[in-house]
Structure 1
Amino acid sequence: MAVIAVYSVKGGVGKTTLAANLAWCASQTSGWRTLLWDIDAASGAAFLLGVDPPKSRTADSVFARERAPQKAVVRTPYRGLDLLPADQSLWSLDAQLAALGKKRRLAKLTETLGETYPRIILDCPPVLNQISAQTMRAADVVIVPLPPSPLSTRAFALVAAEVKGAAKGHPPMLPVLSMVDRRRTLHRDALAANPDWPVIPLASAIEQCAVHRAPIGAFAPSSPAARGFELLWRAIERKLTQRKGK
């Protein structure tokens, strides 16, 4: 079982789109039974997977152990891919986790879910608090989307410090250049400076994920953007293999 956290301290970097497409790759390309767990109160993952939002606001009850996480899981239109959706109750999750005093609550919950799902993707909120600390303790690898800009470089430094400070034996990080437009000098410079980082292009096909309410592999599998997500997923699997071998 492996937990892949998609995390950034900045909003608007394509985090949820990345998480939904990686979950699709894990289940459809690699054939893993996969769970996408949305812990961002904005709850965009359900929309991108074509799942109607839950009527009740009970996502926080999973963390309080008032409800088994398996009971909150819903199916998606894609075989082998399930969703644990978010809702507005998660706005208070940071305070809830602080009050519980259980530093590994998220890790324990993913271990339970891992009995069913060999791959768990976490769509994390853009915060530095109890939630991010819990995420770092639960994750086997942390994916950090970074649009090419000086602010993104600063954001990555913050994420790196958070990951390293979370616990000994912290998970490896995989920075990803997202929304890359090769026509822009700043973006080309970022590519040249980080030639080993995976790249997700700025593409209208990716924007269409919100229109189709589907991962790009489901409606444009031959597109360069779909290829970018596939290559990123392969890089993640290599990271997991390397960590397992240590």
Structure 2
Amino acid sequence: MSGNRTLLWDLDAAGGSAFLFDLEPTGSRLAEDVFSKEESPERLIQHTTIDGIDVLPADESLRALDTKLIQIGKRKRLAKLTAQLATDYDRIILDCPPVMNEVSAQVVRAADLVIVPLPPSPLSSRAFDLVVREIAGNTRKHPPILPVLSMLDLRRGLHREVLKEHPNWPAIPYASVVEQSAVRQQPVGAFAPQSPAAKQFALLWNAIERKLAERRK
């Protein structure tokens, strides 16, 4: 993470982000209470075994977060929370499900950059355009959007064609070490730092940093 203090905030009730770091929600405090009861998010943060990376885990209470945010009526609640956390972190990554609802709308309002994973198919461009239009239609001013090809298999002709069509899009390969990340519950860079997949993740992070630098100009 380029030496930055980084917080990964999991807003997906499935809790995949925390699982990948071998973490689970602890105690009786619910992730949804951060929004509905103004529970301090700092009290839910957990440290990982990776230096400089912390996680704010999700739990089942987030399944109703979309409805709860609409009831609360605070359209910038997440933006205020991330601004509060930014005093302790250089980068805050908000991981949310790939659907357009009040949760994702608040993510867009809070974000400096939106990262959109896409399958390497002939419909990738169309899917990306739809996402851009959907985001633009829900917010008057939205942050830059970075498309990322996911599970790219260069053995497949269609995948090669998509990469040729979008050579500047970061691409994460379909690789066994990426699958092993879930088995080992560690980032690829922690157990296979010299693998092609780890190098592609590094290139993705460089692309993210460039986009953020451009936004600050």
Do both proteins adopt the same fold according to a TM-score greater than 0.5, normalized to the shorter chain?
Answer: yes
User: Is the contact made by 1:177 and 1:198 (CA closer than 8 Å) also made in structure 2?
Assistant: yes
What is the match of residue 181 of structure 1? 153
Cα offset, 1:56, TM superposition: 3.5
| 1:202 Cα deviation after fit | 0.6
* Aligned twin of 1:109: 81
Q: Which amino acid aligns with 2:75?
A: K
Structure-1-length-normalised TM-score: 0.85
Kindly indicate whether residue 171 of structure 2 is the aligned counterpart of residue 199 of structure 1: yes
Q: Does the aligned pair in 2 maintain the 1:178–1:201 contact within 8 Å?
A: yes
Aligned Cα root-mean-square deviation (Å): 1.4
| TM-score (structure 2 length as normaliser) | 0.95
CA distance in 1, matches of 2:64, 2:207: 34
Selected match of 2:115 from 143, 164, 184: 143
Residue aligning to 2:60 = 88
- Output the amino acid matched with 1:145: P
Of 138, 148, 165, the match for 1:166 = 138
Letter in 1 for 2:91: R
Instruction: Choose 57-66 or 114-123, whichever is displaced more.
Output: 57-66
Q: What residue in structure 2 maps to residue 215 of structure 1?
A: 187
1:132 has 2:104 as partner: yes
Q: Which amino acid aligns with 1:197?
A: W
Mapped to 1, the partners of 2:29 and 2:151 lie a distance apart of 32
Secondary structure of 1:122's match? Answer: strand
Query: Does structure 1 residue 48 correspond to structure 2 residue 20?
Result: yes
Aligned-pair CA distance for 1:151: 4.8
- Structure number with the bigger relative contact order (C-alpha 8 A, sep ≥ 6) is 1
Match of 2:36 in 1: 64
Matched, 1:74 2:53: no
Structure 1, residues 6-56: CA drift from partner, whole Å, max 9, x if none? xxxxxxxxxxxxxxxxxxxx2xxx111110000000101111012134353
Task: Name the CA distance, whole Å, in 2 between partners of 1:127 and 1:37.
Answer: 17
Tell me the residue number matched to 2:202.
230
Count matched residues: 217
TM-superposition CA deviations, 1:46-105 (whole Å, max 9, x none): 110121343536000001243111111111111211110000000000000000111111
Counterpart check, 1:35 vs 2:11? no
- Equivalent pair of 2:15/2:58 in contact (CA under 8 Å): yes
Name the aligned partner's letter for residue 180 of structure 2: Q
1:150 Cα deviation after fit: 4.1
Q: d(CA) in 1 for partners of 2:28 and 2:17?
A: 17
Give unmatched runs, 5+ long, in structure 1.
Answer: 1-25
**1 CA distance for matches of 2:185 and 2:194?**
18
CA–CA distance in structure 2, aligned partners of residues 123 and 136 of structure 1 = 11
Q: Any residues of structure 2 matched to 1:5-44 within 5 Å, and which?
A: 26=1, 30-44=2-16
Identity of aligned residues (%): 59
